[in-house]
Structure 1
Amino acid sequence: MPDIQRFDQNTRRSRAVVHGDTIYLAGQVADDKTADIAEQTRQTLAKVDALLASTGSDKSRLLSAQIWLSTMDHFAAMNAVWDAWVVPGATPTRCCGKVELADPDLLVEIVVVAAR
């Protein structure tokens, strides 16, 4: 049975968990909660990039993505940033929906699963 590796763990969560050749990331959000949806999406995806790199992977190895928006009014602007970021020909499965995020100033949260 493969070992389970946990990255940046505290009492509530791990930012990343690796089991075998699969990497599971916790939901990532922007640091600057005053930024608009495009900038919050860029910051969030930069965190995804950094976590994937720390676990031995990258965005070309994405398997799935869940994108949570505070309002679907942000869908087009978020997609513009996402489409520029994602690797052509290596797009993951994806869902996107409106949810009430933990902090009302957050506009987007992204959860991904990737292969190592």
Structure 2
Amino acid sequence: MSITRLETQQRMSRIVIHNDTVYLCGQVAADANTDIQEQTRTMLAKVDALLEQAGTDNKNILSATLYIRDMKDFAAMNAVWDAWVPEGYAPARACVEARMARAELLVEVSVVAAVPQR
């Protein structure tokens, strides 16, 4: 059994790879003082960068769990999400309203993806 941990700190690893499956820690916006759409865009850019580091991309996402501070922002967040997900590659997904770790955060995502065979 092989487990690879990348960007590991005391509390968590940003990336864990096991059996050709990538697990990302929760990702939030680069700037939490922006609106839901900009927070979603920068959050997904961070997901893209981590997936690339792990040798995969958003066409290989198996599942995503989105945490949104207020469901009033659901449609605006989905507009950005829908533009980001490649057509025909939508993952299994859940979206729940949740209190965030910091009040200014509006959205967070946790992603599981496959690493394609080389």
Report how far residue 73 of structure 1 moved. 0.6
Q: Residue in 2 aligned with 1:87? A: 86
Which structure 1 residue ranges, 4+ long, deviate > 2 Å from structure 2? none
The share of aligned pairs that are identical, in percent, is 54
Q: Which runs of 5+ in 1 are unaligned?
A: none
What's the RMSD between the two structures over aligned residues? 0.5
Q: Which runs of 5+ in 2 are unaligned?
A: none
Correspondence 1:22-61 to 2 at 5 A = 22-61=21-60
Report how far residue 70 of structure 1 moved. 0.4
TM-score if structure 1 supplies the norm length? 0.98
Residues 14-71 of structure 1: CA distance to partner in whole angstroms, max 9, x if unpaired? 0110001000000000121110000000000000000000000000000000000000
Letter in 1 for 2:22: I
Correspondence 1:1-116 to 2 at 5 A = 1=1, 3-116=2-115
TM-score if structure 2 supplies the norm length? 0.96
The size of the alignment, in residue pairs, is 115
CA distance in 2, matches of 1:5, 1:110: 21
